[in-house]
Amino acid sequence: QGGNNAGHTVVVDGKEYDFHLFPSGIINQKAISFIEKHRKSKSQCQSLTNQHSCNPTFLHLLTGLKDWEKRLIISDRAHIVFDFHQAVDGLQEVQRQAQEGKNIGTTKKGIGPTYSSKAARTGLRICDLLSDFDEFSSRFKNLAQQYKSMFPTLEIDIEGQLKKLKGYAEKIRPMVRDGVYFMYEALHGSPKKILVEGANAALLDIDFGTYPFVTSSNCTVGGVCTGLGVPPQHVGDVYGVVKAYTTRVGIGAFPTEQINEIGDLLQSRGHEWGVTTGRKRRCGWLDLVILKYAHMINGFTALALTKLDILDVLDEIKIGVAYKLGGKRIPYFP
């Protein structure tokens, strides 16, 4: 999902879990979880997660699960989110608010700045952390200095951070594998069930979402290939998960939004607040235009419709069926 900015609430046997970095398959004691670059995955026999950015501190926050360390594999190619990435995320939001009068509404988890480092080819990966630590330290200092020059108010405890990172390196070393070979073996070895579990919605995709109010990763089905290194021919069924109404955290276009008692009812009955930020989700009627648009990009073979029961108390249910542009219906998402 691009990092720990997304949140999944999972209830198993009456116990509630909030996942930010791990695939929900980590609960299954028969599953192996794999953190890679952009995406997550899980299955009954095999659980494979793929993420762009791995914040090592979150590896120590998973409680209530037995022997999870033995079921977790981290790709050597996963990029690392540093504390200064998170600090810069917050500073950029303040800048946007001051300069444009509006921000994007990020979770301030450092995902956007980490992707920026990745695209600029100055990012650091798990393989860098686990190899020559002197070389890693030198590159870390250079990266930190680059951000300090861009943001003069940014304070970074470089030596303190490096000391922590060296400790994390030894803790995660037993979990790290070559991610591409791991996936190749999973696909071509003894038969396994592999279910890729994506986070964030299709309309938050960096390329196909409601830009600029999007996340920093490709959270559509193509992320399976670019994130996990899975060849396209291995992608089988694609399940679209959609609520019976539409929700959104943060600002951005929302044509069917109900800023009234209907929206309040959907929010309260549906317990609609962000798992990561705690912010209330904006709520409105189901928008079939964006659902069809998501289908154009992802090619759903099935839809999983959720939260239909939230609408039980309503005498009338409305659905957005078309958009008009210049007074005329349009067959596409503009």
pLDDT tier at 51, thresholds 50, 70, 90: very low
Judge contact between 49 and 23, C-beta under 8 A: yes
* Res. 80: pLDDT tops 60: yes
In-domain check, residue 60: no
Q: What is the DSSP letter of 230?
A: -
Residue 274 counted as domain residue: yes
Q: Give the confidence band of 54 by pLDDT, cuts at 50, 70, 90.
A: low
Q: Which residues contact 245 (CB under 8 A, 6 or more apart)?
A: 266, 270, 283, 284, 285, 286, 307, 310, 311
β-pair partners for 35 = 74
* Long-range contacts of residues 162-168, Cβ cutoff 8 Å, at least 24 apart: 162/137, 165/56, 165/129, 165/136, 165/140, 166/133, 168/56, 168/57, 168/59, 168/129
Does residue 328 surpass a pLDDT of 80?
yes
Greater confidence (18 vs 75) lies with: 75
Q: Is 191 within the bounds of a domain?
A: no
Spatial separation of the C-alpha atoms in residues 124 and 136, rounded to whole Å:
8
- Looking at 174, 199, 220, which one is the last position of a domain? 174
* Minimum mean pLDDT range among 11-25, 27-41, 55-69: 55-69
297 or 6: which leads in pLDDT: 297
118 is catalytic: yes
223-277 confidence digits (pLDDT tens): 889 888 899 999 999 999 999 999 998 788 899 999 999 999 999 999 998 766 6
> Mean pLDDT of all residues in the chain?
85
Q: What is the pLDDT of residue 103?
A: 64
What pLDDT does 275 receive? 67
Kindly calculate the radius of gyration of the chain based on its CA atoms and give it in whole angstroms.
21
Residue 5: the pLDDT is 60
Statement to judge: residues 84 and 169 lie in one domain: yes
State the Cα–Cα distance between residues 204 and 212, nearest whole angstrom: 9
Judge if 170 and 84 occupy the same domain: yes
Residue 114 lies in a domain: yes
The pLDDT assigned to 2 comes to 64
Tokens 């030596």: give the residue: 159
Q: What is the pLDDT of residues 107-133, one digit of tens each?
A: 677 888 998 999 999 999 999 999 999
More confident residue, 56 or 28: 28
The residue among 150, 174, 198 that closes a domain is 174
Has residue 217 been placed in a domain?
no
pLDDT value at position 44?
28
Selected residue with higher pLDDT from 297 and 217: 297
* 126's tokens: 């798990």
By three-state DSSP, how is residue 319 classified? strand
Question: HSE-up of 69 (CA within 13 Å, CB side)?
Answer: 8
Number of Cβ within 10 Å of residue 281's Cβ equals 19
Examine the fold and report which residue of 174, 192, 223 is the final residue of a domain before the chain moves on: 174
Residue 200 inside a domain? The answer is no
Token match 């330290």: residue? 137
Q: Mark whether 243 and 170 lie in a shared domain.
A: no
What is the residue range of 312's domain? 237-330
Question: Which one is predicted more confidently, 31 or 291?
Answer: 291
In a domain, 162, yes or no: yes
Query: Could you give the number of structural domains in the chain?
Result: 2
Band (287; pLDDT cuts 50, 70, 90):
very high
Task: Provide the 3-class DSSP secondary structure of residue 111.
Answer: helix
pLDDT band (50, 70, 90) for residue 49: very low
Helix (H), strand (E) at residue 248: strand 245-248
Contacts of 17 (CB under 8 A, 6+ apart): 9, 10, 11, 24, 27, 64
Cβ-based burial of 234 (10 A; exposed 0-12, middle 13-18, buried ≥19): middle
User: Which tokens belong to 310?
Assistant: 């939230």
Cis peptide before 212 (omega within 30 of 0): yes
- Spatial separation of the C-alpha atoms in residues 333 and 294, rounded to whole Å: 10
Q: What is the mean pLDDT of residues 169-187?
A: 93
Domain of 101, CATH number, reads: 1.10.300.10
Pick the range with the lowest mean pLDDT from 56-60, 167-171, 253-257.
56-60
Measured CA to CA, the distance from residue 157 to residue 134 in angstroms comes to: 17
Helices vs strands, H then E, count in the chain: 9, 16
Instruction: Spot the catalytic one: 30, 37, 66, 118.
Output: 118
Residue 186 counted as domain residue: no
Q: Which pLDDT score is estimated for 39?
A: 30
